[in-house]
């Protein structure tokens, strides 16, 4: 069953998620899945220990991503920024009457009249727009976990992250991140990102943005840790 979560950036949203996870180990099902990655990526920072169940779940998913990744399909989850989407407006009676009047007007249209050139052109434009809109809606998304490594222990990791997040393009959304020790005083940036598959190529993002000038002043290399379709 698909799950919808709201406003995870607020205390009320986290409280709802904490209550939801009280009797669950994962967002959906009995194994880690893409649904867990979607929620993991939607959290802008590591949740406070105040939210016991969320914190427990977050640490578990974080550990799985570093060890083996997550491959389960899940049942589907949607994360929305506010509760506004929950309210479904009911049209007032007046609107129903207006709709009925419109229907009556449609009955008066001569369906067998000759179509003018202007009408043909308008119909073609509507069909093209509808086709483009359909393609856009069908475009898939992917959740990616990436390791970004600095040149050495003297690299300013704060500036490195700022440079990485400074890469903006349509279809790219940066998510939660943290610094992970590598050794010899060096730390790497581990960061989540969500991409629209038709708009963003991870390979191009790495080769043309993250490891190119001027960001390569801070970034030595990038590795994809996990890549999952949403």
Q: Can you say how many angstroms the Cα of residue 203 is from the centroid of all Cα atoms in its chain?
A: 19
User: Looking at the predicted structure, is the pLDDT value of residue 141 above 50?
Assistant: yes
Q: If pLDDT is split at 50, 70 and 90, which confidence band does 205 have? A: very high
Burial of 91 (0-12, 13-18, 19+ CB in 10 A): exposed
Higher pLDDT, 100 or 229: 229
Weakest-pLDDT range from 63-67, 77-81, 116-120, 153-157: 116-120
Predicted local distance difference test score (pLDDT) of residue 130: 61
User: Looking at the predicted structure, is the pLDDT value of residue 125 above 60?
Assistant: yes
CA-wise closest residue to 169 among 205, 136, 214: 205
Give DSSP secondary structure letters for 103-140. HHHHHTS-TTSPPPHHHHHHHHHHHHHHHHHHHHHH--
Predicted local distance difference test score (pLDDT) of residue 76: 79
Q: What is the SS3 assignment for 76?
A: coil
User: Looking at the predicted structure, is the pLDDT value of residue 131 above 80?
Assistant: no
DSSP H helical ranges for the chain: 11-20, 34-42, 52-67, 93-107, 117-138, 157-165, 202-205
Strand partners, 223: 147
pLDDT 10s digits, 85-98: 333 333 444 454 44
How many other C-beta atoms can be found within 10 angstroms of the C-beta atom of residue 26? Answer: 19
Helix (H) or strand (E) holding 228: strand 219-229
Burial 28-43 (b: 16+ CB within 10 A, else e): bbeebbbbbbbbbbbb
Burial of 143 (0-12, 13-18, 19+ CB in 10 A): buried
Asked whether the beta carbons of 28 and 59 are under 8 A apart, the reply is no
CA-CA-CA-CA dihedral for 16, 22, 25, 30, to nearest 10: -90
C-alpha 112/C-alpha 110 separation (Å) is 5
Predicted local distance difference test score (pLDDT) of residue 189: 94
Evaluate the CA torsion angle 214, 215, 221, 222 in order and state its sign.
Answer: negative
Q: What is the pTM of this model?
A: 0.47
Predicted local distance difference test score (pLDDT) of residue 199: 93
């Amino acid at each position: 069953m698909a799950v919808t979560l709201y406003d995870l950036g607020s205390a009320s949203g986290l409280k709802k998620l904490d209550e939801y996870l009280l009797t669950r180990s994962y967002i959906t099902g009995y194994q880690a899945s893409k649904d867990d990655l979607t929620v993991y990526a939607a959290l802008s920072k590591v949740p406070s220990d105040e939210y016991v169940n969320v914190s427990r779940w977050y640490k578990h998913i974080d550990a799985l991503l570093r060890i083996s990744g997550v491959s389960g399909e899940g049942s589907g989850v949607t994360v929305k920024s506010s509760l506004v989407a929950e309210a479904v407006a009911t049209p007032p009676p007046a609107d129903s009457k207006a709709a009925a009047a419109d229907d009556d007007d449609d009955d008066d249209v001569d369906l067998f009249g000759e179509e003018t050139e202007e009408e043909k052109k308008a119909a073609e434009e509507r069909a093209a727009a509808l086709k483009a809109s359909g393609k856009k809606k069908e475009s898939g998304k992917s959740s990616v976990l990436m390791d970004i490594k600095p040149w050495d222990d003297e690299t300013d990791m704060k500036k490195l992250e700022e440079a990485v997040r400074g890469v903006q393009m349509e279809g790219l959304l940066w998510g939660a991140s943290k610094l992970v020790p590598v050794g010899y005083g060096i730390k790497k940036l581990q960061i989540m990102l969500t991409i629209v598959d038709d708009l963003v190529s991870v390979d191009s993002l790495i080769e043309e943005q993250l490891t190119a000038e001027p960001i390569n002043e801070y970034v030595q290399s990038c590795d994809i840790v996990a890549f999952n379709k949403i």
